[in-house]
Amino acid sequence: MTDEEAARFLEEMMEIKRSIGPFQELLRSSSKKEIERTARQVVINMGHFQALIMNHIILGYLYEKETFTHMPTERPRKNTVRKDMNYLSQRKTTTYHLFYNSSCWHILYFNYGDILNNNEHFAKGGHIHYVSSIWERTTKEGIVAKLKERSYDIKSIHLRFDAGITDGA
């Protein structure tokens, strides 16, 4: 490799690291306390998320994604537009993104209420949830199993998320 090729390669690697933005700090963190500190300071956007997904191999990770949709258990007996719309509004769709290698893993997950700020459990607005192998007594298989359920209780860190979506107001 020539000096020019090496310089170009290093510049491309630096651009990838810049493009994943705040994820760079999260992936490098070695303690939950460090992750919590980073989470208070950052806002993730769609570009950061897309760059992380597109460059996962270069960053040393394998990648998996899965989406689960849960419908309410009872469908209205009498079908009216209003009842059908209410039934559909109660559906819950959760998506997770898993980045992993032989030494660690990271799961980012959300439902549409989280990213659009329709859920009131995080006062700072739209967000995604983050869980890592740094957590004690947590396995990626255990987290994924919980996410398959309609209701789950997972100790995660909230990351502010700007989906770039407005309500038209």
Of residues 72 and 119, more confidently modeled: 72
Residue 168 lies in a domain: no
Of residues 92 and 131, more confidently modeled: 131
Residue-wise pLDDT for 120-129, tens only, equals 555 555 788 9
pLDDT at 166: 42
Evaluate if residue 30 carries a pLDDT over 50: yes
Residue 169 lies in a domain: no
Residue 148: which pLDDT band, with cuts at 50, 70 and 90? confident
Evaluate if residue 115 carries a pLDDT over 60: yes
Residue 160: which pLDDT band, with cuts at 50, 70 and 90? confident
Q: How many domains does the chain have?
A: 1
Residue 49 lies in a domain: yes
Residue 96 lies in a domain: yes
Residue 147 lies in a domain: yes
Please give the full DSSP string across the chain, using - where no structure is assigned: --HHHHHHHHHHHHHHHHHTTTHHHHHH--SHHHHHHHHHH-EEEHHHHHHHHHTTTTTT-EEEEEEEEE--S---SS--HHHHHHHHHT-EEEEEEEEE-SS-EEEEEEEHHHHTT--SS-TTSSEEEEEETTSTT--HHHHHHHHTSSS-----EEEEEE-------
Residue 167: which pLDDT band, with cuts at 50, 70 and 90? very low
Residue 139 lies in a domain: yes
Residue-range definition of the domain harbouring residue 52: 3-162
Mean pLDDT over the full length of the chain: 79
Evaluate if residue 13 carries a pLDDT over 90: no
Residue-wise pLDDT for 59-104, tens only, equals 899 999 999 887 766 666 666 666 555 655 567 788 999 999 998 9
Evaluate if residue 119 carries a pLDDT over 90: no
Residue 155 lies in a domain: yes
The model carries a pTM of: 0.75
Residue 167 lies in a domain: no
